[in-house]
């Protein structure tokens, strides 16, 4: 990077500056002090992202270009090996809520299914009073007689 700050109104210089900022962020070479300042700046800005301020602040930090490139390439390698951006798994609380919701849904379904089945059996008994619900059970008992002990 040159000693003059980039002119962010020119697309080529803006692209180069944003790429430099991304490399420094990926390499982890931005100081804690600058990151804290930028976090406060972002929290205070109610409008859109003040990318020009962020870009100028990060590029104003001194840094060894060789070290930045080496750390950036290491971060790129790690990024590719893990398959891209880190996406954290679901938390235990989220998993528990999901399991509870699933159990509730299954219980509601079971209750409604039982109610429908009960009403269907009542209608069957009402329409066909001679129907014996226990006849298949008696047939199974005859098919598999119990052994005396």
pLDDT tens column, 37-56: 988 988 888 778 888 888 88
Whether residue 97 is predicted with pLDDT greater than 90 in this model: the reply is yes
Whether residue 32 is predicted with pLDDT greater than 50 in this model: the reply is yes
Domain-embedded: residue 2: no
In the structure, what pLDDT confidence band is assigned to residue 117 with cuts at 50, 70 and 90? very high
Rounded to two decimals, the pTM is 0.51
Whether residue 2 is predicted with pLDDT greater than 60 in this model: the reply is no
Whether residue 15 is predicted with pLDDT greater than 60 in this model: the reply is yes
The verdict on 99 and 36 lying in the same domain is: no
- Identify the domain boundary among 62, 82, 102: 82
In the structure, what pLDDT confidence band is assigned to residue 96 with cuts at 50, 70 and 90? very high
What is the pLDDT of the chain when averaged over all its residues? 87
- Region of residue 118 (phi > 0: left; psi between -120 and 50: alpha; otherwise: beta): alpha
Q: What is the DSSP string of 50-100?
A: -HHHHHHHHHHS---HHHHHHHHHHHHHHHHHHTSS--PPPPHHHHHHHHH
Domain extent for 101? 92-143
Say which residue, 5 or 13, is predicted with more confidence. 13
Domain-embedded: residue 1: no
Pick from 17, 20, 40: nearest CA to 30 = 20
The verdict on 102 and 41 lying in the same domain is: no
The verdict on 57 and 98 lying in the same domain is: no
Of 7-11, 53-57, 95-99, 134-138, the one with minimum mean pLDDT is: 7-11
Mean pLDDT to the nearest integer, 91-117: 96
Domain-embedded: residue 3: no
Whether residue 107 is predicted with pLDDT greater than 90 in this model: the reply is yes
Residue 102 φ/ψ, nearest 5 degrees:
-65, -45
The verdict on 70 and 96 lying in the same domain is: no
Whether residue 34 is predicted with pLDDT greater than 70 in this model: the reply is yes
Pick from 79, 72, 78: nearest CA to 22 = 72
């Amino acid at each position: 990077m040159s000693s003059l700050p980039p002119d962010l109104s020119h697309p080529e210089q803006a692209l180069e500056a944003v790429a430099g900022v991304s490399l420094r962020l990926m390499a982890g070479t931005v100081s804690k002090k600058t990151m804290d300042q930028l976090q406060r700046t972002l929290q205070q800005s109610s409008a859109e992202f003040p990318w020009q301020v962020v870009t100028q602040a990060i590029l104003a930090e001194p840094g060894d270009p060789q070290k930045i490139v080496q750390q950036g390439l290491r971060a790129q390698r790690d990024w590719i090996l893990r398959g891209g951006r880190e996406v954290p798994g679901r938390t235990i609380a989220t998993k528990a809520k999901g399991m509870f919701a699933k159990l509730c849904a299954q219980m509601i379904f079971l209750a409604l299914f039982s109610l429908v089945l009960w009403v269907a059996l009542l209608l069957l008994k009402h329409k066909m009073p001679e129907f014996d619900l226990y006849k298949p059970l008696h047939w199974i008992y005859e098919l598999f007689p119990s052994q005396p002990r």
